[in-house]
Amino acid sequence: MTLATLSLDDSITMDDRRPKRRSDVSIREVDGDTILLDRGAEQIHRLNSTASFIWHRCDGRYTVRDIADDLAGSFDVGPTAAKEAVVTAVRQLDQLGLLDPIPG
């Protein structure tokens, strides 16, 4: 099951998922934004600072919960808002095909 198939009500089950960005996506930093080049899909994505923060932690080591905790501390937002932002971003990254499939 990939993250894209989970409903909003399933966000609790995502806490222990460890999203991992695809290794073949090229990354560049431009004017404080992260630019992703997905050559396979012939797409370019520009991430804002929040999405970039989340993207850089999608390395397979951090859980969604870990990323949300880091986001809350770094951006001075509450834990609920941080978790919602991470879940939303991870789902979007997954739907765009930028993450490795997550088993189970």
Encode pLDDT of 53-72 as tens digits. 999 999 999 999 999 999 99
| Contact in structure between 36 and 47 (CB atoms under 8 Å) | yes
Mapped onto helix, strand or coil, the DSSP state of residue 97 is coil
Q: Which two tokens stand for residue 2?
A: 């990939």
Q: Which pTM value belongs to this model? A: 0.82
What pLDDT shows up at residue 102?
66
Q: What is the mean pLDDT of residues 4-24?
A: 70
What pLDDT shows up at residue 7?
41
- Domains in the chain (CATH in brackets) are 16-95 (3.90.930.60)
Mapped onto helix, strand or coil, the DSSP state of residue 31 is coil
Question: How far is the C-alpha of 7 from the C-alpha of 4, rounded, in Å?
Answer: 8
pLDDT tens digits, one per residue of 37-55 = 999 899 999 999 999 999 9
